[in-house]
Structure 1
Amino acid sequence: MDESKGHSTPNGAETTKFPFRLGFGLLFGLLGWLIPYLGVNSTLLPAKIQQIAPDQKVQIVALLATIANIIEGALSDRTVSRWGKRNPWIVLGLITTLICFYWLTKVTTIKGIIINWSLFQVALNMMVAPIVAFIADKAPKKYRGSISAFYGVGMNIGTPVGTMIASRYLTKINSGIYAFMIFEVVFTIIGLLLVGDGNNKGEKVKELHGSELLEAFIFPIHGDVRDFYLAVFGKLLFVSAQFVITGYQLYIFVDYMKLSSASAAHNLSVMSTILLITGVSFAIIGGPLADKFHSLKALVAASTVVMGIGVAFPAFDAAPWTMFAYAALSGAAMGMYNSVDQALNVSVLPNPDNVAKDLGIVNLANSLGQVFGPIMASVIIGAVGYKMMFPAAGLMCLVGAGLIMLIKKVH
């Protein structure tokens, strides 16, 4: 795939004009799914589980997941339609996630929640992989760091804002879900209109036969896959460590720090504000720094180390100030990491014909991290209590940073 596709002058030279519409389209498209997902997943869903089965809440949160990125990404890579290759999948994902959100307001059993949230994950990934693929489809190479920064800003807005909104609906869970549904529709549509991924009916899609057909839907095995998998596993460890905290943040305040529900809600809001400020601040500068100094790998690795320090902090004291320290350090780390991570991922893709599928595999690391982190936390909590899960998360980050530094293709 031509890296300057969609951004070329008539004679084929790459334009020097910065693609702001693409950047803001990515930002709105990302926020459209991320804020509702994180708000419900990290706060309203645990609160609903606590209402239904308070004695099983830790174990049940660890079960909620499924995997769909790879197939949906591969299909969007080969979609030809009057609405573009990515838009049909994003819209289908929008509609089905809304259905799952609505069903979540009605379900009253743990089994129903697990089935619903598994289906939701499938639907959500119809949106995730194609939106990320816009970076590879449309961003000129010299602006990838800065365009990735728009995505990073969105990632760092999404986590705290989703929690801040959700924390106001802890006693009105269904109302919170309805609010997130409206938010998702508005922001997703704005994002798609800004990106403008129009008719691609004239695009030729390579016919696949035999092993090529199989490879289009599986983990890459040809090309320069070493660096790709180092990036994937580095991301898996980073996200897993993050979700050791994020997946249990409500329970950390209530069960580990022994706060009331009202006090927990207040402290969640404070922590989220800190995450928002530090995350957005560092996300804004990360991409431009990467473009200027060509230092994607070093920035991602350094961010992972800082995250490791942040997630270990609550082990020092079972008091809210340690979660605020975590928020400050991890917010800065996530800001820098998210602003350049997608640019790094695009740079290590092994096959330009399988962009969304392979980015879906990268995002699979993100999805698995959101599952593996809480599972690891659940095991540690059940065995030795909350305190030891924090240094364990820190160690995961140090290993992840080491993997990133082993990448050779990217400086």
Structure 2
Amino acid sequence: MPADGLLREPKGFALRYFFGSYGIFLALFAPGLGGLSVRVQALVGLEQAPTVLGLVLGSGAFFALITQPLVGRLSDRTTARTGMRKPWIIAGAVGTFLGILVITVAPNITMLIVGWAMAQLFANFAQAALTATVADQVPEARRGRVSGIIGTTAPLGILTGALGLTLLPNDILRMGIPAAIGLIACLMFAFLLKDRVLTTKPDRFDFREFFASFVFNPAKHRNLGWAWLSKLMIMFGYASTVTYLILFLATSFGITDIGKQLQFNLLATVVLVSANVVFAILGGWWSDKIQNRRLFVAVGAVMIAIGVLMFPVAPALGTTWGLGLILVAEAFIGAGAGFFLSVDMALSIAVLPNAEEVGKDLGVLNIANTLPQTLSPLIAGVVIIPLGDTLFGAGYSLWFIVAAAVALVGAMMVYRIKGVR
């Protein structure tokens, strides 16, 4: 990897990365945000939907766990003439598209699980390689701004995914069109990328090295360990409301009409994303100015927790005021996530222990971003919500309280990272 002082960011790289990253998030969030909720309700009914949705989304957790560090390590060793990252981005984009097509036509829960697992597997191919290009191409002084721009891609993917769910007439179009846009965006990024080329043949890749791709030693690399845990917990809190909003509306507010569910989901998403984009751009610029990353992570996590805690209060206020409070909560969550995402990439790169294994180490860190998006609904649907319903008759309330507490712990953990402001 070139020394940071020798790096010159290619013209237009940030914009191309924006569209590539946005594309893969759009493809994933169209089903993850509401498409799968609608499909599950249609296949098993509302009563079983929380548990089944958790199982479907959780099926991707295993692939999110292993794929990013593995592909990161393999891309660090790829000697293709086209570059180290490009082949993985292309394969990931194509595989994600095919997996989502399976979801749109799945006749039963088994095929729904197969499609989502396939989409998660290949999306993590693309994300691992995409992330590594930032360290390859962008100097340290620019990473806060670039990270802030990149931090807007996930919320914009959520917004346009929700818009498609509301406006398009059937599941094939609701999820197929975002998947096609994601495919095109990633392919354009890959084909225009002046990729880093590995000119020296790497050492033989044995099984011990293969399994080392999945792990790091937190005792040896403490900063990486604390960054991983902090990120995991904050993203766990953030993911707690995104996936279950539609089912929460049906269960707690009696909104069972699919059209009305999707309409409010879109409105909430507009609020979430608007706050997210504004605070992501502000946070990236501000953190570069004061050269402090941890502050924005901590403040962002606290704002997420405050927003999540508004959800269990909302049903007691009635439909009008309760739904209004949810919109306020979405603003807090969006702003907090914007602050967090604005410095996430810059902080991640700052704690990397080995400049020659950027792809692998960023892949390990990216697990903490992607795993909560599937693990959070699995824990909610299979454990917390049923337990809360049984013990207190308030499964969703218990879930949101637990998720907020986890995000706050993540805020505290970021200050265990040493040598980074």
| Length-normalised TM-score, structure 2 | 0.89
Q: Within 5 Å, give how 1:52-201 maps onto structure 2.
A: 52-54=43-45, 55-63=47-55, 64=57, 65=60, 66-67=62-63, 68-169=67-168, 172-197=170-195, 200=197
1:247 aligns with 2:247: no
1:304 corresponds to: 301
RMSD of aligned C-alpha atoms? 2.1
Q: 2:372 aligns with which of 369, 372, 379?
A: 369
Q: CA deviation at 1:302?
A: 1.1
1:36 corresponds to: 27
Q: 1:327 aligns with which of 310, 326, 330?
A: 330
Contact 1:224 1:350 in 2 (8 A): no
Q: 1:221, 1:387 → 2: CA distance?
A: 36
1:51 aligns with 2:42: yes
Contact 2:144 2:288 in 1 (8 A): yes
Change in CA separation of 1:150 and 1:223 when aligned onto 2, cut-off 3 Å: farther
1:380 corresponds to: 384
Query: SS of the counterpart of 1:315?
Result: coil
Whichever residue aligns with residue 252 of structure 1, its letter is F
Deviations 1:98-148 (A, max 9, x none): 211222222201111112211221111110111011111111011111111
Between 1:20-29 and 1:273-282, the stretch displaced more is 20-29
Whichever residue aligns with residue 385 of structure 2, its letter is I
Deviations 1:287-331 (A, max 9, x none): 121111110111111111111111111111212112201211011
Contact 2:30 2:162 in 1 (8 A): yes
Q: 1:354 aligns with which of 353, 357, 366?
A: 357
Between 1:362-371 and 1:121-130, the stretch displaced more is 362-371
Q: 1:180, 1:227 → 2: CA distance?
A: 37
Q: 2:77, 2:122 → 1: CA distance?
A: 19
Change in CA separation of 1:25 and 1:42 when aligned onto 2, cut-off 3 Å: same
2:415 corresponds to: 405
Q: CA deviation at 1:168?
A: 2.7
Q: CA deviation at 1:230?
A: 0.7
Contact 2:249 2:261 in 1 (8 A): yes
Q: CA deviation at 1:380?
A: 2.3
Contact 1:26 1:150 in 2 (8 A): no
Whichever residue aligns with residue 316 of structure 1, its letter is V
2:318 corresponds to: none
Query: SS of the counterpart of 1:220?
Result: coil
Q: CA deviation at 1:367?
A: 2.2
Runs of 4+ with deviation above 6 angstroms? 209-212
Contact 1:69 1:364 in 2 (8 A): yes
Q: 1:174, 1:189 → 2: CA distance?
A: 22
Query: SS of the counterpart of 2:368?
Result: helix
Change in CA separation of 1:197 and 1:83 when aligned onto 2, cut-off 3 Å: same
Q: 2:159, 2:218 → 1: CA distance?
A: 39
Q: CA deviation at 1:375?
A: 2.6
Q: CA deviation at 1:223?
A: 8.8
Whichever residue aligns with residue 239 of structure 1, its letter is M
Contact 2:18 2:150 in 1 (8 A): yes
2:392 corresponds to: none
Change in CA separation of 1:84 and 1:268 when aligned onto 2, cut-off 3 Å: same
Contact 1:282 1:332 in 2 (8 A): yes
Contact 1:311 1:391 in 2 (8 A): yes
In the comparison of the two structures, how many residue pairs are matched?
399
Q: 2:20, 2:205 → 1: CA distance?
A: 34
Between 1:106-115 and 1:376-385, the stretch displaced more is 376-385
2:391 corresponds to: none
Q: 2:163, 2:414 → 1: CA distance?
A: 32
Q: 1:53, 1:222 → 2: CA distance?
A: 42
Q: CA deviation at 1:205?
A: 4.4
Contact 2:230 2:410 in 1 (8 A): yes
1:273 aligns with 2:277: no
Q: 2:245, 2:281 → 1: CA distance?
A: 26
Whichever residue aligns with residue 384 of structure 2, its letter is I
Change in CA separation of 1:195 and 1:256 when aligned onto 2, cut-off 3 Å: farther
Contact 2:101 2:115 in 1 (8 A): no
Deviations 1:148-176 (A, max 9, x none): 1121121221222222222334x511121
Q: CA deviation at 1:215?
A: 6.7
Change in CA separation of 1:107 and 1:301 when aligned onto 2, cut-off 3 Å: same
2:260 corresponds to: 263
Change in CA separation of 1:205 and 1:230 when aligned onto 2, cut-off 3 Å: farther
Whichever residue aligns with residue 177 of structure 2, its letter is A
Between 1:274-283 and 1:219-228, the stretch displaced more is 219-228
Q: 1:283, 1:222 → 2: CA distance?
A: 29
Deviations 1:346-385 (A, max 9, x none): 1111222221111111111122211232133222221222
Contact 1:26 1:195 in 2 (8 A): no
1:11 corresponds to: none
Structure 1: tracts of 5 or more residues without a match: 9-13
Query: SS of the counterpart of 1:197?
Result: coil
Contact 1:156 1:338 in 2 (8 A): no
Q: 2:78, 2:192 → 1: CA distance?
A: 20
Q: 2:210, 2:85 → 1: CA distance?
A: 21
Q: 1:178, 1:215 → 2: CA distance?
A: 35
Contact 2:69 2:363 in 1 (8 A): yes
Q: CA deviation at 1:181?
A: 2.6
Q: 2:181, 2:118 → 1: CA distance?
A: 20
Query: SS of the counterpart of 1:366?
Result: helix
Q: CA deviation at 1:345?
A: 0.6
Identity of aligned residues (%): 26
Structure 2: tracts of 5 or more residues without a match: 316-321, 389-394
